[in-house]
Structure 1
Amino acid sequence: MSNLKRTALFNAHGKHGGKIIDFSGWELPVQYEGITPEHEATRNKAGLFDVSHMGEVEVKGKDAFKFVQNLVTNDVSALEDNQVLYTFMCYEDGGVVDDLLVYRFNEEHFFLVINASNVDKDFDWMKKNSDGYDIDVVNISEALSQLAIQGPHAQEILQKLTDTDLTEIKFFYCKRNVNVAGASCLVSRTGYTGEDGFEIYLDHDNAEMVWEKLMEEGKDLGLRPVGLGARDTLRFEATLPLYGNELTKDITPLEAGLGFFVKLDTDDFIGKEALVKQKAEGLKRKIVGFEMLDKGIPRHGYEVWADGKEIGFVTTGYAAPTVKKNIGFAMVPIEYSKLGTPIEIKVRKRILKAQVVSKRFYTKNYKK
């Protein structure tokens, strides 16, 4: 793996028994003691994640607000300073460039958090669409480490390392220049697990120190390091999409069932015309939840069948640790999307019975 990138926490992963894999060109832990115990620790106590591979882009300048409003599907004008927004960048045809978080520091300063696998593509897209705006768009991904602490005890553990009152950071807000164990950090409260928790952005030199301090303070409260495997099962149970699965250049946010984050009644944005048309004409297909009735575990890419023919594909599938069912998301024609509709999943060479169910597999425990 010598050509792969490493985060500042690479040695910490080895110390805590992380099993390292290649993930989007990074050496990252897929698990430590196991996906299920790490998943359960995050749901019931707390989990600590290295998400330093995520990308960060700063947008600064007189036209920063105008640029970001045109770039994304959600309404950036609704943001207060230090508030965060979940949204999409779309191509002109409505397909998704990426899903991202938009942090507004002020009208002339925004901070965008993008997916690791898309950093170069996203940055090129932003630069391509920045002509005519009085702004600087800077990829600062290589300058920052990012930790995430999630779970019912996350606030209690992090509070031990900072004088900042964490109750003042509301859901989908952030605070800059927070002292965490002596390191100056940007701390936000968003999450990708369905649980309450925080993201900590800081320089590489302090990342391992803060990681180990959190592990030490969280030891008696059940904090465990968590790898990519449980990160995926946690987000999936909480009905949170993954780029490359539920969102791609060939799947629009409307087809993914994420129209809430697409504001078609606001200013123009890239892809708006195509999405307005798609909504007006009616969806031809959409992503649904499903539950296996026969014994078998669905996986990403498996074929979906009905009425003796292949009709779609699984975007995500797991034996879900918390809900204790074999469930998944699948893209199907609209006529097969009604709750209770019988479908079949081709698991290896077997055609197994399943049915369409609500995608709300797990009730999120965010702090409002």
Structure 2
Amino acid sequence: MTTTLARTPLYNASVELNGRMVPFAGWEMAVQFTGINREHEAVRQAVGMFDISHMGKFILRGEHLIDALQSLVPSDFSRLQPGEAQYSVLLNAQGGILDDIIFYYQGIDPVTNLPQGVMIVNAATRSRDKAWISAHIEDQGIILEDLSKDKVLLALQGPQAEATLQPFVEDNLSSIKFFGHLNTTILGQPAFIARTGYTGEDGFEMMVDPNIGIQLWQNLATSGVIPCGLGARDTLRLEAAMALYGQDIDLNTTPLEAGLGWIIHWDTKGKFIGRSALEQQKNTGVTHKLVGLEMQGRYIARHGYPVLFNGEKVGEITSGTLSPTLGKAISMAYVPTRLSKIGQSLDVEIRGKTYPATVVKRPFYRSPHRPKK
């Protein structure tokens, strides 16, 4: 049985720029254009653009929007002011991660006169997320509008992102703080712009109608912006130690195990799904943790490779690559807590042979260009 892959509105524009298309989360996406290392360097040193239209895009609105969402996440959304955003996770009753999300609170929508927000979710989990969220908020008068296939989502990332994007935008982009967002116009048409991204660099993510997205993509390409694919997106996010759902975090991992304890607002939150499980884990301590590993030499520890201690398997690599910025083989893995301290020596099995690795601090690379909140 052949599965038909979905295509974003920027598919043809990506092919025209020699994008090498591959299946990803049910979509046909560009893995690279001119080469992963060149695209990676463009984002770290200048600017690059990504088609991320495959991501799930929900508009949520309702009189008691924030209260309704509070039970679904461990983060305190009541802290958010209009124009602010929060990275968080959806949890099940066991504290397992259903998905990681970003919620952008927009305040009172002038048309509906109701509180409104944008939620971006992962492509592979969009349908499950939509069903899960809807099941928990529908009796509270909250409307979920799924714009996933109706809008283009385009990311412009790198230290030159603001200067590159500004000519196309009505509002002053310097007024948007890190993790801030606003409704504005791009090329004279309505647009949602957020100062967020998945690369560890400064940059913006824009949600617009398809015709404007195509026009913006082409204009940016004409102005010399390097198009970037999934390959560079992965190396960039791994250098920044950003988790990839389905590899570094999933239903079998909790925020405490994944090093995401900072998104749990214990003191200001009331009840939320998974709280009891997380409180128990917090009190007893986690048995294993997600750590950063640096290989000695250039042997690359890839997803699924065994992690060993004294010859015995103690964990498994979740993500790994050769860092273009650092020139070192880096990876992440879950290991027993007793073996998670910085400087701990471990081994990784690569094609039947073992190679030494060391637990190092995350992120592997911290950009000097990334603004603070």
* Number of corresponding residues: 363
Q: 2:222 aligns with which of 201, 216, 227?
A: 216
- Counterparts of 1:245 and 1:183, CA distance in 2: 37
1:113 deviation in Å?
A: 0.5
- Counterparts of 2:167 and 2:138, CA distance in 1: 46
1:328-367 Cα shifts (integer Å, max 9, x gaps): 1110011110111111101111111111111221113322
1:281 matched residue in structure 2: 284
Which amino acid is 2:231 matched to?
G
- Counterparts of 1:115 and 1:48, CA distance in 2: 19
2:112 matched residue in structure 1: none
1:8 matched residue in structure 2: 9
1:121 matched residue in structure 2: 128
2:180 matched residue in structure 1: 173
Unaligned runs of 5+ in 2: 109-114
1:49 matched residue in structure 2: 50
- Counterparts of 1:128 and 1:301, CA distance in 2: 34
Question: Is the 1:264–1:276 contact (alpha carbons within 8 Å) kept by the matching residues of 2?
Answer: no
1:194 matched residue in structure 2: 200
* Cα pair distance change 1:2/1:316, threshold 3 Å: closer
1:75 deviation in Å?
A: 1.0
1:1-368 equivalence runs, <5 A: 3-106=4-107, 108-176=115-183, 178-217=184-223, 219=224, 223-265=225-267, 266-364=269-367, 365-368=369-372
Which SS does the other structure have where 2:149 is aligned?
helix
- Counterparts of 1:104 and 1:14, CA distance in 2: 35
Question: Is the 2:51–2:153 contact (alpha carbons within 8 Å) kept by the matching residues of 1?
Answer: yes
- Counterparts of 1:114 and 1:268, CA distance in 2: 23
| Greater Cα shift, 294-303 or 25-34 | 294-303
RMSD: 1.3
Which SS does the other structure have where 2:124 is aligned?
helix
Which SS does the other structure have where 1:116 is aligned?
coil
Which amino acid is 1:254 matched to?
L
Which SS does the other structure have where 2:139 is aligned?
coil
Which SS does the other structure have where 1:5 is aligned?
coil
Question: Is the 1:289–1:327 contact (alpha carbons within 8 Å) kept by the matching residues of 2?
Answer: yes
- Counterparts of 2:180 and 2:169, CA distance in 1: 17
Which amino acid is 1:112 matched to?
M
- Counterparts of 1:295 and 1:142, CA distance in 2: 41
Which SS does the other structure have where 1:160 is aligned?
helix
| Greater Cα shift, 354-363 or 44-53 | 354-363
1:140 deviation in Å?
A: 2.0
Which amino acid is 1:139 matched to?
D
1:238-268 Cα shifts (integer Å, max 9, x gaps): 1111101111000111100111011122121
Question: Is the 2:76–2:265 contact (alpha carbons within 8 Å) kept by the matching residues of 1?
Answer: yes
1:312 deviation in Å?
A: 0.4
Which amino acid is 2:247 matched to?
N
Which amino acid is 1:350 matched to?
K
1:182 deviation in Å?
A: 2.5
- Counterparts of 1:110 and 1:133, CA distance in 2: 16
Which SS does the other structure have where 1:143 is aligned?
coil
Which amino acid is 1:337 matched to?
S
The normalised TM-score by structure 1 is 0.96
- Counterparts of 1:216 and 1:167, CA distance in 2: 24
- Counterparts of 2:330 and 2:59, CA distance in 1: 38
Which SS does the other structure have where 1:89 is aligned?
strand
Which SS does the other structure have where 2:283 is aligned?
helix
Question: Is the 2:304–2:317 contact (alpha carbons within 8 Å) kept by the matching residues of 1?
Answer: yes
Which amino acid is 2:230 matched to?
L
Percent of pairs with identical residues: 38
1:278 deviation in Å?
A: 0.5
Which SS does the other structure have where 1:299 is aligned?
coil
Unaligned runs of 5+ in 1: none
Question: Is the 2:294–2:358 contact (alpha carbons within 8 Å) kept by the matching residues of 1?
Answer: yes
- Counterparts of 1:360 and 1:101, CA distance in 2: 20
1:66 deviation in Å?
A: 0.8
Question: Is the 2:306–2:316 contact (alpha carbons within 8 Å) kept by the matching residues of 1?
Answer: yes
Which SS does the other structure have where 2:307 is aligned?
strand
Question: Is the 1:96–1:247 contact (alpha carbons within 8 Å) kept by the matching residues of 2?
Answer: yes
1:138 deviation in Å?
A: 2.4
